[in-house]
Chains A and B, each alone.
Chain A
Amino acid sequence: MTLRTPQQYLDDLRQMDIELYMFGEKVENYVDNPIIRPSINSMAMTYKLALDPEYEDIMTATSSLNGNKINRFTHLHQSPEDLVKKVKMQRLLGQKTGSCFQRCVGMDAFNAMFSTTYELDQAHGTEYHKRFVKFLEYVQENDLAVDGCMTDARGDRAKTPGQQPDPDAYLHVVERREDGIVVRGCKLHQTGMINSHEILVMPNNALKEEEKDWAVCFAIPLNTPGMIFVYGRQASDTRKLEGGNIDIGNVNFGGQEVMTIFNNVFVPWERVFMDGETDFSSMIVERFAGYHRQSYGGCKVGVGDALIGATKAIADYQGAAKASHVKDKLVEMCHLNETLYACGIACSAEGRKTAAGNYLIDLLLANICKQNVTRFPYEISRLAQDIAGGYFVTMPSEKDFAHPEIGPLVKKYSTCRDDVPVENRQRMLRLIENMTQGAAAVGYLTESMHGAGSPQAQRIMITRLVDLERRKAQAEILCGIKENPDIDW
């Protein structure tokens, strides 16, 4: 079996016996929990579309490992065309879910780990690549969702992992045994963690030679003993417990971030892909971050499409669609959104082959893409809120609209165009609220800012990757300070 159905995926999650906490209580059946389920639905969409002939051209690929048809989320990119299709797939899923669909982190980790373990083995004579390929074959064969797990708790930001007063501030090896290693630490902000089958752990940052215990990569099943999960809150999350489906904004879909604690967790050697090779930790981080910065040129664009659509709709519903400034603001939203897409496509089209054989995005353009993503969704959201007007933050609850006595009055004074049902206006305003400051804003805004690295991380990479001295020399030739060697006629 290489393509799972959404139902099979849900069945997998139901069989997971994990230690999960939310609101100070242990959660037993998380699949049917109304706060968690929308995020599971988003992940399930990655399975659903792969089986649909209308979408299979970008949702599936041919495995480079065994030749089978697989979900693109488990694929090793084999060409720039594959990298482009990845971005298109992410845009599609952003449109379909209007939220973070969570499966990208695993895909980006596979591609970073595949090429890095290959080069690591070449340098150190180790066998991590072979182990990793075996793991990835298992993932592809069973169409598994995998959480690519990088961000540590990090303690005092002025100190490196080895300098922290609490060494657990960064996940590290606490014991090496004949049969494997034992690790302890915590990874924060883990997108889609409990919606995954497996966890693929990577180091958080570049490491010094003496920080070998923190240079560790491995994969374990979600239900490994010692794993503790604490569900992250989202704005307006408890609206999902109120029973209605208007005030939640997005009726079926949502994102998920989880605090993930590794409390003395055993990892067998066959699942360890790095142990102590500090000189390759920065390569993993740069490549994973690069792929993930490319990802945002697809997924955030898809969610942007949904927000632009909602903004167009509310302008129509409220009778403002013909105002020239509204039309112009919608154009500006599209301009910003398509600019992000252009960046995602550009860093893909300029991708290159790695020594291991899979393709890596152009790192400079991927960082430019993400730097824009830290800004443009905020501006798109500002324009959406501008056009929507203030009612999406002052509107009474859906229960007030349904109230037998005040309901008719609330509806009367919430009506704009008399040919548009007031409930349509309610729903669209709540969707805009959901994406720009509610539960989905976690993914569309704050994740755009900090996910795959905060803005300064991209600026450091841009500084490193742009050759300013060459540009200076070109300018000196143009203005006559230096002789122009091209002028020979």
Chain B
Amino acid sequence: MKQMVILSGKGGTGKTTVAAAFAHLASQELAIVMADADVDAANLELVLDPVRQEEHDFAGGKVAVIAGTKCTACGTCHQVCRFEAVIPGDEAYRVDSSACEGCAACTYRCPVEAIQMVEQRDGQWFRSDTRFGPLFHACLHAGRENSGKLVTLVKQQARLLAQDTGATLLLVDGPPGIGCPVISACAGMDLALHVVEPTLSGIHDLERVMATTDHFGVPSLVAINKADLNRARADEIAAFCASREVELVSCVPYDNVVTRAMVQGQPVTAYGDGPVTAALRDTWARVRKRLFSDDVGPREGGRPW
């Protein structure tokens, strides 16, 4: 089984558009399992029309809870908390659970044992069926921590099912950024496809996310989305890829059809034929070749303009 993740650094560059297109195209040739690793803003389900088969709670961590009846308002917990999570009160102190990081320092220092660590339901994860294959996805509750942990869980479940059913591809739609959920999404991947826009910000963010995948030893490919928006910047990305010996697998043109497909809840490749669909078919063909060939050396990138 091969595993790939779609990343971008910068948000909103088209990760999920590409992931949904790949799900549609890959499932015509291979048995696939999908995982949405953007657990704080999961969007893949919006274009895959999933039917939920399983639903599980995710308890990522604990938070401190002060028993008002035992609290003597001595203030020790407030002193030791470094996260400004303890709110003083005249008769009893309280914990702001949105600020509590679950370190339990207050629990250990409280002289009257008034504080307990209570498990918190931080989110839910799901196994769903889609017409392209099983999808594992999750929903981190608003503002919670431990998104990296939930990403790891979702991927682990997806991988187990893929192994059990003999699937040949695990396709992971990644989160933006370079922090803990991205690091969790990268773990164990054979390949990362970076979707980038030809903008100053896009280039800046690509460099950082690619440094992150390099750091964790995951080989990179690059696809430029909305490539015709700024051709000079697209050329700059192509040159950057060449200098890093990273294959530029495609340039997808800007077209409002992407949004129209999204509004209809469809992968753009299933919605209609056109330049975007053609470019994404080509992208998938190149990525597939790269994933399933033993030769992992750099190759010529394509520039369709």
Do A and B associate with each other?
no
By a beta-carbon cutoff of 8 Å, the part of chain A in contact with chain B is none
By a beta-carbon cutoff of 8 Å, the part of chain B in contact with chain A is none
